[in-house]
Amino acid sequence: MTKHWIRSSGIFGVLGGIILFAGDMLFYYDAESTNFLKNMAYAADNRIALSGVSALIAAWFYILGLGQVYYAFKPSKPLLRNMMLVSLGGILIAYGVIHGAFVAIATSAKLAIENGLDLKESVRLASDINDILRLFVYPLFAICSLIFIFQVWKKKTFYPRWMILFFPLIPFLIKDVLGELLSGKWWTIIMGGYLNLILIVFFTASTIALWNVKKTR
């Protein structure tokens, strides 16, 4: 893998995060409201459509970004490197799938408002399915986290140890605490796009860490 591709791969990962963050905002953002469900219900049709399309494009970019992480784990044992590839790859694909599934929630919410139906009951099935999809991600995230933290700490990768601070696990654990400190539109922006923001941070840090890497074979 050339240095150019290593850098480009990380940039693709960052772009994937930016695209899907924009998709989150198309669903959730309203300057006057912090109620995600109501914001989706009142979102324009083109916003919902664009948000759904962003899921596919972002997933492609995220997978391209995965190449950088796979390269960084080259010093690790092949089994651990491949487990990292599969688990993180599964998570990144799930990001696109789960975001795309929110289209069903948004359209159900719109129909509920337009026809005077109970909002929460109208989106219940779509929300339940979305929650089920998330259950497949948690074990992958646990495997990915264990491998990443231990391998980076043991210096079995090309990453410096400080990369552990930017791995998604830590910001994921402090999400609720951070949410308590925010309000208004900033709460909507940060909490609404949080899961993609932490990947933007991760791929940015990864790209910086590997920007001048000497070993490319």
| Residue-level pLDDT at 213 | 81
Residues 142-185: tens digit of each pLDDT: 999 999 999 999 999 999 999 999 999 999 999 999 999 999 99
Q: Which residues of the chain have pLDDT under 70?
A: 215-217
What's the confidence (pLDDT) of residue 217?
Answer: 56
> Quick check: is 112 in a domain?
no
The reply to whether 181 falls in a domain is yes
Is residue 71 within 8 A of residue 9, CB to CB? The reply is yes
Determine the Cα–Cα distance for residues 91 and 168; give it in Å rounded to an integer.
11
Residue 122 is assigned to a structural domain of this protein: no
pTM beyond 0.85: the answer is yes
- Distance from the first to the final alpha carbon of the chain: 6
In sign, the C-alpha dihedral spanning 121, 125, 127, 128 is positive
- Per-residue pLDDT, 215: 63
Which residue type does 56 have? L
Domain hosting residue 45, numbered range: 3-93+134-210
| Two structure tokens written together for 51 | 């948000």
- Given this model, what pLDDT does residue 146 score? 97
Reported as a single tens digit per residue, the pLDDT across 27-46 is: 999 989 999 999 999 999 99
Structure tokens at 8: 């480009």
Q: Is 109 a domain residue?
A: no
Rounded Cα distance between 96 and 99, Å, is 5
d(CA 128, CA 152): 36
- Residue 111 lies inside a defined structural domain of this protein: no
Res 2: pLDDT: 86
How many separate domains does the chain show? 1
Alpha helices in 73-193 (DSSP H): 78-115, 119-122, 124-135, 137-153, 169-173, 175-181, 184-192
pLDDT for res 12: 98
Token pair belonging to 69: 């992480």
Distance, CA of 87 to CA of 139 (rounded, Å)? 9
- Contact between residue 70 and residue 81 where contact means Cβ atoms under 8 Å apart: yes
Residue 54 pLDDT: 97
- Asked if the structure places residue 144 within a domain, the reply is yes
Does the residue 42 lie in any domain? yes
